[in-house]
Each structure stands twice: as structure tokens, then as C-alpha cells.
Structure 1
Amino acid sequence: MNANYDVIIIGGGAAGFFTAINIAENNSKLKIAILERGKEVLSKVRVSGGGRCNVTHACFIPNELVKFYPRGEKELKGPFHQFCSGDTIEWFERHGVELKIEDDGRMFPVTDSSQTIIDCFQQAVKKWGIDVLTGQSVQSLFRGEDYWKVETTRDTFKASKIVMATGSNPKMWDMLETLGHSIVPPVPSLFTFNIKDPRIKDLMGVSALASVKVKGSRLQASGPLLITHWGMSGPGILRLSAWGARELFAKNYQFVLQVNWLNDLDFEETAELLRELKIEHAKKIITKKSPFDFPNRLWESLVLASGITEATKWADLSRKQLDNLTGQLVNGQYHVNGKSTFKEEFVTAGGIDLKEINFKTMESKILSDLYFAGEILNIDAITGGFNFQNAWTGGFLVAKNFSN
């Protein structure tokens, strides 16, 4: 099949669909196609947020929102002033999808189902007559004088303009590199830490608000930390992995993690607190009850790791044991040996070099009539709806170029 279009969007994910729909709404006369290499479209939307689709985050101030992006913070300021989280809520409402805010700021459809978002997009592409073509794996891109030629495994297409929304696809990066774009090499972001340590061995499911630091570096983060059967996860760990994506890759994911289970208390403050507890609870057994805001199982494990026996009373705590316990609480050292992917939400740091993009239009500075949206760029965020917000904002800005 040979087909001509005004606009071809390569990639049938969140960014691709959102861009196509917004282009059609801006100019209904345009002939638009979405090319997807797989059999299914919107597969990442389906699994995101545990199948509920974490659409965006309730952070409505652009200058604050950008702080959730380890890569892209500076570049997204302007775009977020054009289309921010509040605009996303409004857009989906206008398309019949109501969103709700959860306690941690994440936003989901009120139905708690990603299918709601998929249905919304599918209805819109149908309404605007956008062709959605699956099984179209792009093999080559050719820039003619005033057109683009796209060859897939099945067909050849021509278009006036191309939008790349292929996410973290190395094949597409290679293709764009041959056309003159620079690619920042991809490394994983948003991952959990593999730790084998007797202190956390049987504590799967235990959670605590903690601050974490990579020993010998400036990398640190805080937030809920979750102990899993393979090591540590939770927002605090994911935050650290996102900001440390390149540095931890360079360390081959072998490093020492310093954990402060009391989050913001330092060594001196904690030692003082323990001395007070020693007087106050002199006759009580130390392991029996956690005096801090985390589960007893974790407290007991840290007490035993400090060389204190199960039957020791507070009154019998030696100076050395008190110092050991303080160290375990505020500066526990855990050897990380590898990483695991966080759920199905695989996020990559890397992609098209941001210096080569005009962030007013999302057009390539290297090749005219070539636009980008979503994770194909060297932009990524921590977990919480921020990666989707980047996709929506990019798609909106691309579409502005196609107004009547």
C-alpha cells in the first residue's frame, strides 16, 4: 500500500494518540495516521498505575512541577506554562473523563481503570477519522524536498510532517542518529535495589519514612521506603534511582546505601533520645516495643543488629550498645548488588539530545517538519504521573503548529 497523509505520527502510545487527537481538533481538514509497530496500541497506558492509569499529578505550578524531572527540568518550564496539570484535567473532562486526586497527589480516572483513558482516545480518533495502523514497524525515514517518506515492513507512506512518539525505542534512536540527531545513550531510571542483608531478610512488606543516601556521592532522597523480598523499593528509593540513573549505571549498581530510618533526626539527636528512653523505660525490655514511628519487626531487627540481646532491658544498655543502635537507626549501611525493574513501568533516561529541540514548537532544529513528543526525548521523571504529563504537554505543543 502507498498512502499519502498530511501528518504521520509514529508510535501508538499515550503521546502519539494525544498528539493526533489535538492536531485533528486544531485542524479537522488534515489527513492523519498513527503507525504502531505492535499488534496493540496504548499498551503502556493499560498497565500504568497498576492498571488504573496515573494520568497526571496534582502539582499545578510549572516552576514546581519541573522539579520532578531529573532530565528536562530546565527545558520543560516554558512548555508547562503552556499546558500544565490543570490543563490536563480540563482536557480529559472535556472528553468525558473525570479525574480524582489521591492523598499522595497522583491523579487517576474516577473509574480507577486505564480502560477509561483508552476508550476516550479510541473514541476521539474514530470521531476525527484518524487512521490507526498496527503492525507497521518503521524500517526507514527519508527526507524529500518537501515531504517525508516512511517505509514500514508492510507499506510505504508519504507525509508533509512527521511526529515521532516512539518512546524508548533504540531502533528509532539509531534511525534518527543517521539523519543527524544526537542521542544521549539510554540507561534505566526508576528501579528498585537488590539487597541481601540479614537485617531485612524477613521484613518483606515493612514500610518506613526514611532518608537514603549513596555513600561517597551527593545522591540522596527521602520518602516512604518499602522492604521487599529482593531488597528495597518505595518512593524514596525510586526517587534516588531516577536522580542517580547515570551515576548508578556507572557504578554497575554496586554501591553502599546509607539509610536513616528516622528520616530527619541526626546521630546526636537520636543518641539523646535513646538516653532519655533508657531512663524512662529502665525496667522494660528494649525489643518489646518500637519507640519510633515504624513497625516493631524493624525495630527488633535493628536492636539485635546492634549486639543487644532479645531479653536486654533499657537500664542495662551499655554506652557501646547505645552508639551501635544509634548508628543502625540513622546510618545503616546496606550493600546494593544490582537492580530490579519497578513493576511494568520501565522508564529510561536518555534519548534525543534536548539541545536539538525547539521547546516552543517541539520541532527538530536539525530537520524541518519533524516533531517529537514523549519519552523519545532525553526527558524522564520520577513515578507519580509526571512522565504522562510530559507526553500530554509535548503533544499539545506539537498540535499548536497545525492550527487552521
Structure 2
Amino acid sequence: MSNRKQLIVAGGGAAGFFCAVNAARQNPSLSVVLVEKSNKLLSKVKVSGGGRCNTTHACFDIPELVKRYPRGQHFLKKTFHWFNPQNTIEWFGERGVRLKTEADGRMFPVTDQSQTIIDCLLKEADQYGVKVMLQTEIKSIERLEEGFRLQTGTKELRADYLCIATGGYPKSSMFDWLTATGHQVETPVPSLFTFNMPGNPVTELMGISVERAAVKVAGSKLAEEGPLLITHWGMSGPVILRLSAWGARYLAEKNYHFTAIVNWLPEKREEMLREEWPQLRQELAAQKMNHKNPFALPGRLWIYLLAQSGIAADCRWGDLPSREQNRLIKNLTGQEFEVKGKTTFKEEFVTCGGIRLNEIEPNTMESRKIPGLFFAGEVMDVDGITGGFNFQHAWTSGWIAAKAIAERSI
């Protein structure tokens, strides 16, 4: 019988895989088994960034980086000192995977294929002898005098060390097998989602994107600026996804019924536009409004805004009645939309909530309640805005857990 210490990693996503391959590499005498409840590995990596895998973000200043995480900032200040975006770039680079930076800071493999990241991790697992068990879900954890006894649906597993990297769960009850160990969870709620506006005429503009819009949630301090995409169900794009992340708990309390206020011209306030309007009107007096859009907005959006302001298609700038003019200025700088519900952003389901961070040691990812039990990834109460930040937390926490386990098991 082998005397090798055994690590079991629960979860075949980014955090779990990174923990498994790094632990196996750093301590070849350690037996590493990765168990995944589905029949697929790295499924979020596969779909991320439209199939390109938004691997990390080119933000190398830790105080600045942690500002991209609505929850977990204090915890991440410590973890990112161990492993951060620069380390991620170097780790993949050492294995022949180069990353490139896009204009907005998101980083992708130069191949623009998520399969490149997947293949790299699979090769690493193969090289260092990580055993993978698919369709194996851990149902319960029992702490033994030495190590753990794990029950799955069909078998019993033993481990000296256990790393939980199962990702986020949409319901508190799904954490029961973890809370049974004595851990507490912050109630999970969706974090990255789009705003549904059923029946609103804006949905007829589906497919239109605006490079920069300012959006705020009425009655709150929630406000963001960035690209906005109109969809057949409402609004999406980075500005909406960031708002959904920062407002995850507040919007859940509202049952996703609230008013979103959109400024289509974020560089202008309503008063400023009112002051500029007389000159604008004078310069364009003879031109038909539907033909002359001085704000560089998409054509269909401009026509929609005119219609929403009660302005006839053939109205000339010089003939614009004051009532309709006021409506247009208001709609350009603060159009209100009733939001009724949400839609998960593509397949990139992210939750806020999870294992409470005060129960985890950030320098090792080990449980402060149960020695030998570690956590990595989204199962913890950490989540970032869209842009590669959630993957960075996965790499970081997986790497730290692997290092701690590898060193302890030597």
C-alpha cells in the first residue's frame, strides 16, 4: 500500500484545475485526484469571452486591481501579493501560451481560442499525473483523525488534504454539504446579469451598441459608465454588467424591479445641454432632425429618441416646439427605463456569496476551522466585475492553495 499523501480537489473548473496541477508539479510525491460532478472539465473557460477565454486583466497595481471586486477586496489585497495578473501571464508564458492585451485591458491568448488555455491545463495535468474523475460529486465530508472521508453518490474516497473549488451555487441549500462542516456562507445571489425591460420599445433596437453611456439605478448610489448593448430583452454590455455586480445584493432585495436611468451623452449633463441647445438649434435650423444627428449616436437610436420625445420625423431643428425640445434633452441625458427581471449573462454564471472569508486564511486558502481543508475560486464570497477578474481570483486562490498543500505534504 502506498504511503503517498493524497490531495482531492473538488471541482474541475479554473480554480480546481490550477490547484491540482500546481500541487502535483510542486510536490511530485503527492497523489492528486481531481473530481468533477459533471462530464465536462473547464466548461466556463471554454465559453468565456465568446470562446476566446478572457484569462486575466492587464491591471498590475494591486490597490487598483482590488477595486474591480465588489466583494472580497480586503482579502484579495493579501492574496494578490502571492499571485497576480503578472504571475498569470508568466505562468502561461512558461508553458508556451502567450497572452495579448486588448484596448480595454482584457487579456486573451494570442490564438483567440479558449481551447489553448484548456489544452495547456490538460497537458499540465497529464504531465504531472493528476488523476481526473468525472461524474463524481462529493455529497458529504467527514473529518477523521487523519484526513477526510468523502462520500459520493457511489463510492467512498479518502484524502489527506481537500480543496473545495466547486464554483458558486445559486441557492443557499446547495452549500449544505459545506455548512455541515461548521462553515458559514453569505447568501448567494446572481452577480453578472443583464437588465430585462419587457415590452419596452427600446428592445426593437436589439443589436445596437453605444460606445459610452452612463447608467444609474434610481434611488441608489449605483452608477457606472461604459459600452452599452441593446438586446431583444433589454440592456447588456460592460456598463450593465458592472452595475449588476456592484448592485448584486441591492437589486436582489428589489426583486430585480427598479428604474435604470441612462444618459446617452455621458460627457454632458442636462443643464449643460440646455445651455448649448440654442446655438445647436440655430446652426441646424433648416435641417430635418431625423437626417441631422449632431451627437454621433447610432442612427436608429437617434430616430427612436426623437419618437420617444414626440418629435415628428420631418420636423426641422428650427421648428422644434419647446415641449418636445425639453423631452428630447431629458431623454438624451436621463432617459428612464423600468427594469423587470434579469437574464444570466451568456453562460458565464457568477454569484456573489459563498464561504465567509473570515473563515479562510488568505495566505494559504486553508480553513480556519478545519486543518487540511482548503478553498479556491468562486465558492468563496469573492466576485469580480466582468473583464477577466473572476478568472484571476481563480488562478490566484488555486495557486496559493496548491503551494500550501505541496509544502505541507513534503
Task: Give yes or no for TM over 0.5.
Answer: yes
* Residue of structure 2 equivalent to 1:299: 302
1:381 maps to which of 380, 384, 404 = 384
Distance of aligned partners of 1:287 and 1:138 in 2 relative to their CA distance in 1, 3 Å threshold? same
* Residue of structure 1 equivalent to 2:268: 265
Q: Give the superposition deviation at 1:142.
A: 0.3
TM-score (norm 2): 0.95
- State the superposition RMSD in angstroms: 1.6
Q: Give the superposition deviation at 1:143.
A: 0.3
User: Where does structure 2 lack aligned partners over 5 or more consecutive residues?
Assistant: none
Q: Look up the equivalent residue of 2:325 and give its one-letter code.
A: L
Q: Contact 1:163–1:372 at 8 Å: present in 2 too?
A: yes
2:82 is the counterpart of 1:79: no
User: Which whole-Å CA distance do the structure 2 matches of 1:186 and 1:282 have between them?
Assistant: 55
* Residue of structure 1 equivalent to 2:149: 149
Aligned length: 403
Q: Contact 2:4–2:29 at 8 Å: present in 1 too?
A: no
* Residue of structure 1 equivalent to 2:316: 313
* Residue of structure 2 equivalent to 1:203: 205
Tell me the SS of whatever aligns to 2:73: coil
* Residue of structure 2 equivalent to 1:322: 325
1:175 maps to which of 160, 164, 177 = 177
* Residue of structure 1 equivalent to 2:350: 347
Q: Look up the equivalent residue of 2:135 and give its one-letter code.
A: G
Q: Look up the equivalent residue of 1:266 and give its one-letter code.
A: R
Deviations 1:6-56 (A, max 9, x none): 211111111111011111222111111111111222122111111111111
User: Which whole-Å CA distance do the structure 1 matches of 2:16 and 2:227 have between them?
Assistant: 33
Q: Which of structure 1's runs of 4+ aligned residues deviate more than 4 A?
A: 2-5
* Residues 197-206 or 212-221, more deviating: 197-206
Q: Give the superposition deviation at 1:311.
A: 1.5
Deviations 1:156-205 (A, max 9, x none): 12111110000014566211111111111111111111114555142111
Identity of aligned residues (%): 50
Q: Look up the equivalent residue of 1:12 and give its one-letter code.
A: G
* Residue of structure 2 equivalent to 1:194: 196
Deviations 1:242-266 (A, max 9, x none): 1111111111111111110101311
Q: Contact 2:376–2:394 at 8 Å: present in 1 too?
A: yes
Distance of aligned partners of 1:3 and 1:178 in 2 relative to their CA distance in 1, 3 Å threshold? farther
Q: Contact 2:227–2:237 at 8 Å: present in 1 too?
A: yes
Q: Give the superposition deviation at 1:322.
A: 2.0
Q: Contact 2:164–2:376 at 8 Å: present in 1 too?
A: yes
TM-score (norm 1): 0.96
Distance of aligned partners of 1:110 and 1:327 in 2 relative to their CA distance in 1, 3 Å threshold? same
Query: 1:332-343, aligned counterparts within 5 Å?
Result: 332-343=335-346
Q: Give the superposition deviation at 1:127.
A: 0.9
User: Which whole-Å CA distance do the structure 1 matches of 2:232 and 2:41 have between them?
Assistant: 33
Deviations 1:239-292 (A, max 9, x none): 101111111111111111111010131111111222211011111111212111
Q: Contact 1:161–1:369 at 8 Å: present in 2 too?
A: yes
* Residue of structure 1 equivalent to 2:130: 130
Tell me the SS of whatever aligns to 1:361: coil
User: Which whole-Å CA distance do the structure 2 matches of 1:296 and 1:151 have between them?
Assistant: 60
Q: Give the superposition deviation at 1:154.
A: 2.5
Tell me the SS of whatever aligns to 2:214: strand
User: Which whole-Å CA distance do the structure 1 matches of 2:339 and 2:217 have between them?
Assistant: 10
Deviations 1:289-324 (A, max 9, x none): 211132121112112211221111111123322221
Query: 1:240-251, aligned counterparts within 5 Å?
Result: 240-251=243-254
Q: Give the superposition deviation at 1:147.
A: 1.1
User: Which whole-Å CA distance do the structure 1 matches of 2:324 and 2:48 have between them?
Assistant: 46
2:363 is the counterpart of 1:360: yes
